[in-house]
Amino acid sequence: MKQNLKKELENIAKEALQASRELAILPTGAKNAVLKDMARALLSSKAVILRANKKDIALSRGRPKAFIDRLTLTPERIKQMADSLLDIVKLKDPVGEVIRAWKIPNGLRIDKVRSPIGVVAIIYESRPNVTSDCIGLCFKSGNSVILRGGSESLNSNIAIYNVLSKVMGRHRVPAGAINLIATRERKAVDALLKLNNYIDVVIPRGGEELINKVVRSSRIPVIKHYKGICHVYVDEWADLNMSERICFNAKVQRPGVCNAMESMLVHRDVAARFLPGMLKKFKDAGVEIRGCALTCRIAKWARAATEIDYRTEYLGLILSVKVVNDLDEAISHINNYGSHHSDTIVTENKDNALRFLARVDSACVYLNASTRFTDGNQFGMGAEIGISTDKLHARGPMGLEELTTYKYMVFGSGQIRE
Amino acid sequence: MKQNLKKELENIAKEALQASRELAILPTGAKNAVLKDMARALLSSKAVILRANKKDIALSRGRPKAFIDRLTLTPERIKQMADSLLDIVKLKDPVGEVIRAWKIPNGLRIDKVRSPIGVVAIIYESRPNVTSDCIGLCFKSGNSVILRGGSESLNSNIAIYNVLSKVMGRHRVPAGAINLIATRERKAVDALLKLNNYIDVVIPRGGEELINKVVRSSRIPVIKHYKGICHVYVDEWADLNMSERICFNAKVQRPGVCNAMESMLVHRDVAARFLPGMLKKFKDAGVEIRGCALTCRIAKWARAATEIDYRTEYLGLILSVKVVNDLDEAISHINNYGSHHSDTIVTENKDNALRFLARVDSACVYLNASTRFTDGNQFGMGAEIGISTDKLHARGPMGLEELTTYKYMVFGSGQIRE
pLDDT in tens, B264-294: 999 999 999 999 999 999 999 999 999 999 9
Mean pLDDT, residues B23-27: 95
Q: Quick check: B142 pLDDT over 90?
A: yes
CB contact under 8 A, A373 and B417: yes
- B82: helix, strand or coil: helix
Residues B361, B336: Cα–Cα separation, whole Å: 10
CB contact under 8 A, A253 and B200: no
Mean pLDDT, residues A261-267: 98
Residues B17, A389: Cα–Cα separation, whole Å: 17
| The pLDDT value given to residue B2 | 65
Nearest by Cα to A368 from A397, A354, A348, A351: A348
A210 touches chain B (CB under 8 A): no
Confidence of residue B208 (pLDDT cuts 50, 70, 90): confident
pTM for this prediction: 0.94
Confidence of residue A195 (pLDDT cuts 50, 70, 90): very high
B350 touches chain A (CB under 8 A): no
* B268 touches B294 (CB < 8 A): yes
B326-357 per-position pLDDT tens digit: 999 999 999 999 999 999 999 999 999 999 99
CB contact under 8 A, A392 and B392: yes
Say how far residue A11 (Cα) sits from the centre of its chain.
28
| The pLDDT value given to residue A125 | 87
A213 touches chain B (CB under 8 A): no
A368 neighbourhood in chain B, CB within 8 Å: 411-415
> Over B2-64, what HEC string results?
HHHHHHHHHHHHHHHHHHHHHHCCCCHHHHHHHHHHHHHHHHHCHHHHHHHHHHHHHHCCCCC
What are φ and ψ of residue B368, in 5° steps?
A: 55, 45
Is there a common fold for B2-224+390-411 and B230-373? no
User: For a pLDDT cut of 90, what percent of chain A falls above it?
Assistant: 94
CB-count exposure of residue A270 (10 Å: 0-12, 13-18, 19+): middle
Q: To probe the interface with B, which of A381, A417, A418 has the most B CB atoms within 10 Å?
A: A417
Confidence of residue B172 (pLDDT cuts 50, 70, 90): very high
A393 neighbourhood in chain B, CB within 8 Å: 392-393
Confidence of residue B206 (pLDDT cuts 50, 70, 90): confident
B250 neighbourhood in chain A, CB within 8 Å: 416
Q: Quick check: A24 pLDDT over 60?
A: yes
CB contact under 8 A, A392 and B373: no
CB contact under 8 A, B369 and A335: no
How large is the C-alpha radius of gyration of chain B?
24
Query: What residues form DSSP beta bridges with B232?
Result: B264, B344
Least confident of A326-330, A401-405, B182-186, B351-355: B182-186
Q: Quick check: B403 pLDDT over 90?
A: yes
CB contact under 8 A, A408 and B396: yes
A64-104 per-position pLDDT tens digit: 998 899 999 999 999 999 999 999 999 999 999 999 999 99
To the nearest whole angstrom, how far is the Cα of B355 from the nearest Cα of chain A?
Answer: 9
User: For a pLDDT cut of 70, what percent of chain A falls above it?
Assistant: 100
| The pLDDT value given to residue B125 | 87
To the nearest whole angstrom, how far is the Cα of A86 from the nearest Cα of chain B?
Answer: 22
A126 or A415, higher pLDDT: A415
Confidence of residue B3 (pLDDT cuts 50, 70, 90): confident
How large is the C-alpha radius of gyration of chain A?
24
Listed by start position, the domains of chain B span: 2-224+390-411, 230-373
| The pLDDT value given to residue B66 | 85
Kindly provide the ipTM of the predicted complex, given to two decimals.
0.95
B377 touches chain A (CB under 8 A): no
B240 touches chain A (CB under 8 A): no
CB contact under 8 A, B369 and A242: no
Q: Quick check: A1 pLDDT over 60?
A: no
User: What CATH number labels B2-224+390-411?
Assistant: 3.40.605.10
Nearest by Cα to B117 from B363, B409, B400, B388: B400
Mean of the per-residue pLDDT values for chain A?
A: 96
CB contact under 8 A, B364 and A201: no
| Residues within 8 A of B (CB atoms), A 104-133 only | 104, 108, 110, 117-118
A103-159 per-position pLDDT tens digit: 999 999 999 999 999 999 999 987 899 999 999 999 999 999 999 999 999 999 999
CB contact under 8 A, A359 and B395: no
- A-B C-beta contacts closer than 8 Å: 189
> Over chain A, what HEC string results?
CHHHHHHHHHHHHHHHHHHHHHHCCCCHHHHHHHHHHHHHHHHHCHHHHHHHHHHHHHHCCCCCHHHHHHHCCCHHHHHHHHHHHHHHHHCCCCCCCEEEEEECCCCCEEEEEEEECCEEEEEECCCCHHHHHHHHHHHHCCCEEEEECCHHHHHHHHHHHHHHHHHHHHCCCCHHHEEECCCCCCHHHHHHCCCCCCCCEEEEECCHHHHHHHHHHCCCCECCECCCCEEEEECCCCCHHHHHHHHHHHHHCCCCCCCCEEEEEEEHHHHHHHHHHHHHHHHHCCCEEEECHHHHHHCCCCEECCCCHHHCCCCCCEEEEEEECCHHHHHHHHHHHCCCCEEEEECCCHHHHHHHHHHCCCCEEEEEECHHHCCCCCCCCCCCCEEECCCCCCCEEECCHHHEEEEEEEEEEEECCC
A228-246 per-position pLDDT tens digit: 999 999 999 999 999 999 9
A413 neighbourhood in chain B, CB within 8 Å: 368-369
To the nearest whole angstrom, how far is the Cα of B60 from the nearest Cα of chain A?
Answer: 34
A369 neighbourhood in chain B, CB within 8 Å: 108, 410-416
* A267 touches A301 (CB < 8 A): no
Confidence of residue A2 (pLDDT cuts 50, 70, 90): low
B242 neighbourhood in chain A, CB within 8 Å: 414
- What is the third-level CATH fold of A2-226+389-411? Aldehyde Dehydrogenase; Chain A, domain 1 (3.40.605)
- What is the third-level CATH fold of A230-373? Aldehyde Dehydrogenase; Chain A, domain 2 (3.40.309)
CB contact under 8 A, A359 and B21: yes
Element (H, E) at B319: strand B318-324
| The pLDDT value given to residue B207 | 86
